[in-house]
């Protein structure tokens, strides 16, 4: 895949405090990670799920999902970097999951602007690490790779769209390059992959509202 490495990005230090991650900007500001802030939206439902299934089962499911999600994420990154993602160290199940979304990547992604780079916004007072900034079907997009045990309904993944909208604002603030197209690509167990495409402006105000809730809870 063709790369358009037109921008340079500064690596950011991170700090963890009370299970919250912060990124330290070049000016010394400590901004919470966007994933930390968006956990506010899912905390209640996660606690209810843990209560239903028990902590041992919940921990096992979460650990497996996290490991697989990380593995497939790195496989996507390798593949987009024109490297072999399916080397012998990968688990067969992870390779199968990656191969389910490989044709979607081939058909839609080109002209890679950035991968796995740290971003921040002084306007949003947020930071994070975006999966991929590239052209999707010829349109510059924020692209996020996800995995799931089951098919997702769109109304279940507001936090995915809000996260991507935040990355779009961060990228524009740092580079001057606007991005309005948000793409969520989900590899689903035993099902075809799901693709959701949304417009940044539909979600950015919801993200700002959630950032305000976080600030009310923890302070600036």
Summarize the confidence of residues 160-176 as an average pLDDT. 97
Higher local confidence (pLDDT), 126 or 218:
126
Specify if 96 maps to a domain. Answer: yes
Cβ–Cβ < 8 Å for 189, 148? yes
pLDDT band at 49 (very low <50, low <70, confident <90, very high): very low
Range of the domain at 88: 13-218
63 pLDDT more than 90: no
What whole-number distance in Å separates Cα of residue 38 and Cα of residue 130? 15
Helical H runs in the chain? 34-53, 55-80, 92-108, 158-175, 204-218
pLDDT band at 77 (very low <50, low <70, confident <90, very high): very high
Specify if 60 maps to a domain. Answer: yes
Mean pLDDT of the chain: 89
The number of distinct structural domains making up the chain is 1
Q: Return phi, psi of residue 59, to 5°.
A: -65, -40
Specify if 173 maps to a domain. Answer: yes
Percent of residues, the chain, with pLDDT higher than 90: 68
> Residue 199's closest CA among 156, 153, 150, 136?
136
Q: Return phi, psi of residue 158, to 5°.
A: -55, -40
142 pLDDT more than 60: yes
Q: What is the per-residue pLDDT for 7? A: 81
The CATH number that applies at residue 162 is 3.90.320
Specify if 89 maps to a domain. Answer: yes
Higher local confidence (pLDDT), 45 or 81:
81
Whole-prediction pTM value? 0.90
Specify if 2 maps to a domain. Answer: no
DSSP string, 19-64: TEEEEE-TTS-EEEBHHHHHHHHHHHHHHHHHHHH-HHHHHHHHHH
* 3 state DSSP class of 125: coil
Cβ–Cβ < 8 Å for 170, 191? no
pLDDT band at 3 (very low <50, low <70, confident <90, very high): confident
58 pLDDT more than 60: no
| Distance from chain centroid for Cα 4 | 21
Higher local confidence (pLDDT), 62 or 12:
12
Specify if 4 maps to a domain. Answer: no
What whole-number distance in Å separates Cα of residue 30 and Cα of residue 157? 27
Summarize the confidence of residues 183-210 as an average pLDDT. 96
Specify if 59 maps to a domain. Answer: yes
Specify if 39 maps to a domain. Answer: yes
């Amino acid at each position: 895949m063709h790369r358009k490495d037109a921008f340079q990005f500064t690596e950011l230090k991170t700090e963890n405090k009370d299970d919250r991650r912060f990124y330290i900007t070049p000016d010394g500001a400590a901004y919470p990670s966007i994933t930390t802030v968006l956990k506010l939206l899912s905390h209640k439902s996660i606690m209810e799920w843990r209560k239903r299934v028990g902590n041992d089962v919940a921990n096992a499911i979460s650990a497996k999902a996290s490991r697989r999600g990380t593995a497939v994420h790195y496989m996507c990154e390798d593949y987009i970097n024109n490297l072999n993602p399916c080397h012998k160290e990968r688990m067969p199940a992870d390779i199968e999951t990656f191969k389910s979304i490989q044709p979607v990547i081939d058909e839609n992604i080109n002209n890679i602007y950035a991968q796995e780079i740290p971003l921040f916004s002084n306007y949003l007072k947020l930071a994070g690490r975006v999966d991929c900034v590239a052209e999707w079907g010829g349109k510059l997009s924020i692209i996020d790779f996800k995995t799931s045990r089951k098919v997702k309904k769109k109304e279940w993944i507001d936090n995915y769209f809000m996260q991507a909208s935040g990355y779009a604002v961060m990228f524009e603030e740092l580079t001057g390059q606007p991005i309005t197209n948000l793409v969520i690509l989900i590899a689903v167990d035993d099902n075809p992959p799901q693709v959701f495409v949304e417009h940044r402006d539909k979600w950015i105000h919801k993200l700002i509202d959630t950032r305000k809730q976080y600030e009310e809870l923890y302070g600036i």
